[in-house]
Amino acid sequence: MGILFQNGVLVNPDGLSGKMDVLCEDGMIAAIAPQLPAKDHRVIDAAGKTILPGLVDVHVHLRDPGLTEKEDIATGTSAAAAGGVTTLLCMPNTRPVCDSVETVSYIMDKAASVGSARVLPIAAVTVGQHGQALTDFSALRRAGAAAFSDDGVPVMNAAVMRAALLAAKAMDAVVIAHEEDGFMVGNRACNEGKISEKLGIPGRPSIAEDIMVMRDVMLAEETGARVHIAHVSTKGAAEIIRKAKARGIAVTAETCPQYFMMTENLLLEKGTMARVNPPLRTETDRRAILEAVCDGTIDCIVTDHAPHCAAEKARPLTQAPSGMVGLETSFAACVSALVQPGLMTLEALAAKMSTIPAALFGLDAGTLRVGGRADLVLVDPQEQWVVDPAAFRSKARNTPFGGMRLTGRVKMTLCGGKITFQDL
């Protein structure tokens, strides 16, 4: 017996679309056609709803191993399923750092045992994320590492970054770069500008991001390696990436909903819930990121899901950790900010959140085709709802989206043909 979706609209950026029935059997897509017989299958009436490929989030912090008071693989992937995510890449800033074959294997084995989404670890670029000695890229890649990053800690030494790019190029892997000059930003709480001045605290200048983006674009050009720029937040960085792409440099980029929906002003209202890294920027930056998402300069949309304990976020702004959770709000935030205003079609959004990131990292995901994995999400793109952090599946509640009315709701998620979330 399979699961048969009837009467829905299939939106598939990389394949057949339209009013289609979709049959899932034995973890695979068994058939896609305008009408399929019910037989003895479980029938899901998808009338008024849309079927999308399962979302692919290539920037998630699961905090497991070692920081499981914030999140763990079970709760993090449960949150992912509630947000329509079926495949995710998790960052290496765990305890211990994901810089060994043993830690890569631990994450993959635990995800296979308790996960509600497919989890692929990102291994650290440098041992301990200390920015000095490279990890064993070859061994980590063989163990299952999907990419390499020291996310959260910029690789400040250009020689180390160049060596990392060359090592990654040798195995056709991607280095994901957190782009801030650490000497310029320290552990400062917000963007440098009118809000930092109003609060009387030092800020993180946007030039700190732009300089590092320019450096790594230059290194990508010189080495011919692939570099992926994480969570782009500034107008300057977007312009550098746009020009680099026009020159044929192998650079790709991501951003998060907060960077095209929110500005530094939100700190005055939401406090530590709006403290993220890189920080929320100015209205000029927000508009530039929105433009870069819409014109393809920024390839994909991620969450940078970064859970923290309530007690940590209750500290003063300058002492609280940076980060927000996003897995359960990202799809709706993007529908609200991009699709509802007519800036992007739902098909284009599905590409940004599924098909394109899957292709960038060589993942078997992001499309619905007969014989392929039954990773899909059923959504109601018109349903409005109010974000209630208390209802999150994540352990964490640190979000500036709390209380916000959003449009677009995940109704069911299938990962490998298994229902991992349902709200019908």
pLDDT in tens, 29-38: 999 999 999 9
* Structure confidence at residue 17 (pLDDT): 86
Please determine, for residue 373, whether its predicted confidence score (pLDDT) is greater than 90.
Answer: yes
332, HSE (Cβ side, Cα atoms, 13 Å)? 23
Average pLDDT over residues 193-209: 98
> Which helix (H) or strand (E) element contains residue 141?
helix 137-143
89 strand-pairing partners: 120
Task: Evaluate if residue 1 carries a pLDDT over 90.
Answer: no
pLDDT of 409 above 90: yes
pLDDT of residue 282: 98
Give the pLDDT confidence score for residue 14 in this predicted structure.
Answer: 83
pTM greater than the 0.85 cutoff:
yes
Instruction: Over range 103-128, report the average pLDDT.
Output: 98
In this predicted structure, what is the pLDDT of residue 21? 97
pLDDT of residue 168: 98
- Angstrom distance (rounded) from CA 88 to CA 368: 17
d(CA 37, CA 126): 54
What is the band of 383 on the pLDDT scale with cuts at 50, 70, 90? Answer: very high
Record the tokens describing residue 354, joined without a space: 């599924």
Paired residues of 413 in beta bridges: 377, 421
Report the candidate in 112, 7, 144, 147 with the shortest Cα–Cα distance to residue 415. Answer: 112
Q: What residues act catalytically?
A: 304
Digit-coded pLDDT (tens) for 151-175? 999 999 999 999 999 999 999 999 9
Dihedral in degrees, nearest 10, Cα atoms 29, 326, 116, 332: -40
Spatial distance between the Cα atoms of 252 and 235, rounded to a whole number of angstroms: 16
Residue 47: is it exposed, middle or buried by C-beta count within 10 angstroms (0-12/13-18/19+)?
exposed
> Would you state the pLDDT for residue 16?
83
46, pLDDT greater than 90: yes
For 225-262, the pLDDT digits (tens) are 999 999 999 999 999 999 999 999 999 999 999 999 99
CATH for 3-51+372-422 is 2.30.40.10
- Enumerate the domain spans of the chain: 3-51+372-422, 54-360
For the domain bounded by 54-360, which CATH number is listed?
A: 3.20.20.140
Q: Count how many residues are written for the chain.
A: 424
pLDDT value of residue 193 = 98
Give per-residue pLDDT as tens, 323-334: 999 999 999 999
Q: pLDDT band for position 379 (50/70/90)?
A: very high
- Sheet containing 55-60: which strands, arranged edge to edge? 55-60, 85-90, 118-123, 147-149, 174-177, 226-229, 251-255, 300-301
Give per-residue pLDDT as tens, 339-369: 999 999 999 999 999 999 999 999 999 999 9
